[in-house]
Every structure is written in C-alpha cells, then in structure tokens.
Chain A
Amino acid sequence: MTKWLERQVPKMVLAPTFAAILLFVYGFIGWTAWVSLTKSKLMPRYEIEGFQQYTKLFDTPRWDTAMNNLFIFGALFIVISMVLGLLLAIFLDQKIRTEGVIRTIYLYPMALSMIVTGTAWKWILNPGLGVQAMVQGWGFETFTFDWLINPDYAIYTIVLAGVWQSSGFVMALFLAGLRSVDGEIIKAAQVDGIPTPRIYTAIIIPSMAPIFLSAFIVLSHLAIKSFDLVIALTGGGPGYATDLPATYMYAMAFSRGNIGQAASSAMIMMAVVFAIVVPYLYSELRAKHD
C-alpha cells in the first residue's frame, strides 16, 4: 500500500498544475470558441448559432484595419529587428574591447514594460515639443515629423518603438549563436585565406538557421500579442488607425460590451499564433524524441 502510494507521489505533485492547465488554458479556449459561435452581446449566451460572429468580424472595417496593421507592423518589426540584431551581433563579435558595456546598453529596453516604452516614445515623437519641434528649433522651420498623429504613418511609430525594445534581445540571441559556431572551421577558413565577410555569409550564418527560426518565433509571438505598446503610444489612434487585433479584442470585450465579437477576434488571434508556432513546437518535440 505504501509502495503504491509512493509511486503515485509524482503524479499527485503534477495534479494541481495539470488540472489548472486543463481548465484555465484548454477549457477556457473551448469556452471562448463556443461563445464565438453564439449571439452573445453584453452577456454570454450559449445557444450555438453558427459562424455569424466571424462573418460580421470580417465585414467590419475596423477589424480589417487591425489585421492590415498586424501584417504591416509584424513584417516590419520582425524583419528590422532580425537584420539589426544580426548586424549588431556580428559587429560586436569583432573582439570589441567594451563589449560588455555595449551589450548591456543594447539589451536594457527588454527589461522595461511596454507601457514605459510607449510613454517614452510618445513624448519623444509628439510633434509639439518632441523631435519635430527640436529640429525646427535648429532652424529647419519646414521640417515635419508628425507620424504619431498622422493616420497613414502612426503604425510606423509602433514599429520604431517595438524595434527599439526588442532588437537588443535578438542581438543577444544571435551573439550566443555566433559564439557557439565551431571555432576550428572558422580558423580553417581563415587559413585558407577566405575573406571575413565571406566566412560569415557562407559558413557562420547558414549554421545559425535554428536561431533565425527561434528569433522569428519569439518576434512574431510578440507582434501578435502587442497590446500594451499600442495602448501607451497611440491608444489605437488617430481614430482606429493603429488598432491591432489585440486592441480590437479588448475594446469589444471591455468597453463595447460585445462578447461575441471579442471571442471571435480572440479565436482568430489564436489561429494566427498557432499557424506559426505549432509546426515549430511539433518539430522541436519530435526532434527531442528521436
């Protein structure tokens, strides 16, 4: 009896976590999926009505803007962060004497809350007293830099702040990758007289493919979940110009009292995340079992 109990201990230790995950992750996803198929408004209703919420969602111009913004912001944010991160990592890898200090400076934004980042950039970019006013004060009276209040450009301010926050982290990932490349191969290439840029493009960067992949996963995940940054920097405005799916969902859930729309937009967000993450996780888990 005690032997049997002894063997059950590990399972009992896991039980609370297992129950919590089952209920609060998978059960809740199920609840949201269910409600997204109903006519819920201010209060959730549980009679399944079909895919009306989704049809309505895709007919809503505001959601259209939000999805467009997600693709613009996501693509730019990911590409710029990766390119910048890789460049900074390669340059930092050239036996720089003050590497430690520079690395610390590049990475510190990652420790900040997106709300702090948004607040800082909102102040820097505000046309009245920020960068625009500063450059005008230098004598360039016609200089304009009003992206923050310009509906066509406001989304790029979010890209700017996002890249500022996350590129240092990508740099750290790549730097760790560069350091783990087999030194012998590089030395051999140097002995053969292959120029340094070529060593990078032909040997080192291709061997870092897994790091590109995980950087991509993390960044796309950050992009889809971006909520705080938009709230703090533009509040989704001007108008709805910088709405993202996350802010749309929040507005529907907590200020518009439209639970059906909130649930269906949340489900679309999850679909986007899973389209990117599931193949990755699947391959990772399989690789480990082999």
Chain B
Amino acid sequence: MTDATIQTARSPRKTSSRTGRIVLRTLLYVFLIAFALFYLMPLFVMLTTSLKSLDEIRTGSLIALPRDITFEAWKTAWSGACSGIRCEGLRPYLLNSLMIAIPGVALSTLFGAMNGYVFAQWKFRGANLLFSLLLFGCFIPFQVVLLPMARVLGILNMAGTIPGLIFVHTVYGLGFTTLFFRNYYVTIPMELVRAAKIDGAGFFRIFWSIFLPLSLPIIVVTVIWQFTQIWNDFLFGVSFSQAGTQPVTVALNNIVNSTTGVKEYNVDMAAAILAALPTLLVYVVAGKYFIRGLTAGSVKG
C-alpha cells in the first residue's frame, strides 16, 4: 500500500488512474444507495403515512415526516377498521392467519421430512417417477385446482373453515417441503444408513436418532418458507374462506378497498404494516435461512 502511494506521488499517469478509481467507487456507492432508497421508500411512506392524521395527509407532502405523530390510525387498524360489514380491525384476522399457518407449517414440514427421508435414503422402484410427479405439482398454477377444491371442501364440510384452509395449504405445500428435505438428506452418506441397519435399527429408529438430529438447518429453512408462503397467501384465502375465517391478507384487501365512508389512508397503511410484520420479522431475524429457502426453491436439484 505504501509502495503504491509513493509511486503515485511520482507518476502523474498513476495519479489520474487513481482519481479515476475513486470517482468510479463513488459512482458505485451512489448507485447502490440510490437503489437502497428505492427499495426502502414504500416502507418509509407507509410508516410515515400511518403516523399522520388524515388532515395532515391531505395537506402535506407524500414523503414529508409527520408533524404531529398520532397512533390513532394504528389503533383503528388493530381493532376498529371495517372489513366488509364487520368492524373489528385486523386483530381477529391476524389470529386467523396464525391459526392457519401454525398447523399448516407443522403438518407440511412433518410430511416433507418423512417423504424427503424416503426419497433420499430408501429408494424403491418407481420412487423417481413419484418424485418427478411431485416436482411437477410444485409448478401448476393453482387456478387449475380452485374449482374442484371448492367442491371437495364443500363435500367434506370444510368450505369456508379454517381447517379447510389448513388442509389446502398442507396439500399444496408438500411438493416444496419434500424437495427441501430430499435435497438435504441426499448429502448424508448411504453408508450411515447401511451401518445402522446392520446394527438392527429400523426405518423410524434411523430417522429419529440419525437424521432428525442433523436436520435443524433444513427444518428452519422449510418452516420459514412455508410460513411465508401461507401467511402471504391470498388466492386460497380469498377463494376458500368466508366472513369470519378470512386470513389477514384478505381482510387487508377488504379494508383498503372498502367503499363506504371516508378513505382513511393512514389506517390502510397501518393495517398493511401489521399484516407484513410477522414475515418481515422472520426475515430480519432469520434472513440467511429465508434466502436459502428462496434459492433452494428456485434452483432445483
């Protein structure tokens, strides 16, 4: 480093290339920061809007900071905003989403782990075909199953219920959860299973005492993936719920698009942040695993 400085001090050509580099680096940072602002701007606008009064929203600028911070909008969004004819805020729907997501995540992860274990370590004839069928299932546009699922839920007496939504999310989550676990478990050497078998351990015993203890990272990835998917789902939620069992995304959309009364933009924004908080929190706390799930879900194999 010192060598370089001495040299640049002597030769003018080197100096100019060095200023050039500094200019380039500065431009680089300007570009990167500009885009950081682009990605942050909607969050910033949502937050500041939610803290303003309606008067201030009408008279002030979109990106101005709130003059008088008020939490009225948050209170309304939490327990008073109207979704359809019910005016209980977002709270009951946040609860619905939790009641859908927790069993949905648990069930699809459990099945995914067992399936992945079989596909990775207990191959039988036809297993590859089965796995391909499962993989293709990940890619179907869900529109193609909406109509028959609505009928089947009706027949099972689960139309418009929370168990119905848990069921739907579990079934259509299986493809990805199985894929995650399978791809993780293939990296565990077959010899381990063979040795355990010779020692007399069975299918479940091997899973329980060898595979499960190694599985924490992939369980975290899968749980985060499924939770984000189910929490953010709108299509199934809007198709298979009714007043009272709607997940938070559907309720948020209803609140924002309700046509009665004055449009309360601050309440809309507070409600949007409330609906986004759980997945944002997961992202902030466990971003590494979140990204791993995203890339694992896209780069197959």
Residues of A near any B CB (own CB < 8 A):
6, 9-11, 13-14, 16-18, 20-22, 24-29, 31-32, 35, 44, 88, 91-92, 94, 96, 102, 104-117, 119-124, 129-131, 133-134, 137, 164, 168-169, 172-173, 176, 210-211, 214-215, 217-218, 221, 224-225, 227-228, 231-232, 235, 245-246, 249-250, 253-254, 259, 262-263, 265-267, 269-270, 273-274, 277-278, 281, 284-285, 287-289
Contact = CB atoms under 8 A, between A and B. Distances in A.
Contacts of A29: 140, 144-145
B40 A228 contact: no
Pairs A-B, 3 closest by C-beta atoms:
A113-B232, A10-B122, A111-B283
B287 A107 contact: yes
A253 B238 CA distance: 12
Contacts of A108: 39, 43, 280, 283-284
A21 B63 contact: no
Taking chain B's interface residues, is the majority helix, strand, or loop, or is none over half, making it mixed? helix
A173 B294 CA distance: 9
Interface of B: 28-29, 31-33, 35-36, 38-43, 45-46, 49, 57-58, 61-63, 111, 114-115, 117-118, 122, 124, 127-128, 130, 132-137, 139-152, 171-172, 174-175, 178, 202-204, 228, 231-235, 238-239, 249, 252-253, 256-257, 265, 268-269, 272-273, 275-276, 279-280, 282-284, 287, 290-291, 294-295, 298-301
B300 to A, nearest CB: 5
Contacts of A211: 299
B232 to A, nearest CB: 4
Contact of A246 (B143, B145, B290): B143
A115 B275 CA distance: 9
Contacts of B280: 108, 111-112
B268 A119 contact: yes
B282 to A, nearest CB: 7
Taking chain A's interface residues, is the majority helix, strand, or loop, or is none over half, making it mixed? helix
A285 B119 CA distance: 14
A102 B38 CA distance: 12
Interface centre among B128, B136, B175 (most CB of A within 10 A): B136
A207 to B, nearest CB: 15
A9 B203 contact: yes
B232 A114 contact: yes
29 contacts: A9-B202, A17-B111, A17-B178, A21-B137, A24-B152, A28-B144, A32-B145, A32-B147, A102-B32, A102-B33, A104-B287, A111-B279, A111-B282, A120-B42, A123-B265, A123-B268, A124-B62, A131-B62, A134-B62, A134-B63, A231-B253, A235-B257, A246-B143, A246-B235, A250-B143, A250-B239, A262-B147, A269-B141, A273-B141
